[in-house]
Amino acid sequence: MGTGSSPCASCKLLRRRCAKDCIFAPYFPPDDPHKFAIVHKVFGASNVSKMLQELPIQQRADAVSSLVYEANARVRDPVYGCVGAISFLQNQVSQLQMQLAVAQAEILCIQMQQEPVPCNLPTTLMEPDQLDKLPFSTSNNNSNHNNNFNNNLQQYLSFASSSSSIMQDPVKRESLWT
């Protein structure tokens, strides 16, 4: 018999005498009859008994817990059972991950619009004689090419240092995904 003189929930539901070695007694106490009723409705008492007898004693409690969970899921969703619940939750996680990625991208776009772009280029213009000492300058016999290159580099450096002062209207921010 289960606990005390009261028969276990399975024996009570099946209207039979609860034996000392009742396989259901440790897992379906008399104070929780709904637990066995739902497992019995979905799987049948005979099938549950066979499953429990095939398992080692230390694994039976986990098996009963799984059977109760699956039986509850089958009552709610007779076709898919707990697989339907798992699929629903996986889809929900996937949608939330997508929303999170979109929000992070929008935050990044807003931050890039608000902060000046860090530039590793020098902020002051170099003198022409300093430009000749750069490792990519050519030899002195090509001075015309060197001067053109230096002029272009100076223009680029002056543009790069002045472009950070361009102001953007914060009201005109647009989302990439709306």
Q: What is the pLDDT of residue 133?
A: 57
Q: CA quadruple 140, 141, 143, 148: dihedral positive or negative?
A: negative
pTM (2 d.p.): 0.52
Q: Over its length of 178 residues, how does the chain's per-residue pLDDT go in tens digits? A: 544 568 999 899 899 898 888 999 999 999 989 999 999 999 999 999 999 999 999 999 999 999 999 999 999 999 999 899 899 999 999 999 999 999 999 999 998 888 765 555 555 555 656 555 555 444 454 455 455 555 554 554 454 444 444 444 444 444 445 4
Cβ atoms of 8 and 25 within 8 Å: the answer is yes
Rounded CA gap, 56 and 163, in Å? Answer: 74
Q: Give me the phi and psi of 133, to 5 degrees please.
A: -85, -5
Tell me how far the alpha carbon of residue 70 is from its chain's centroid: 25
Q: CA quadruple 81, 84, 90, 96: dihedral positive or negative?
A: negative
Q: What is the pLDDT of residue 115?
A: 74
Q: CA quadruple 52, 53, 54, 60: dihedral positive or negative?
A: positive
Q: What is the pLDDT of residue 6?
A: 83
Q: What is the pLDDT of residue 143?
A: 52
Rounded CA gap, 147 and 142, in Å? Answer: 9
**Cα atoms found within 13 Å of the Cα of residue 88, Cβ hemisphere only:** 8
Which tokens is 140 given? 């002195």
Q: What is the pLDDT of residue 91?
A: 95
The number of beta carbons lying within 10 Å of the beta carbon of residue 104 is 10
Q: What is the pLDDT of residue 2?
A: 45
Rounded CA gap, 121 and 157, in Å? Answer: 7
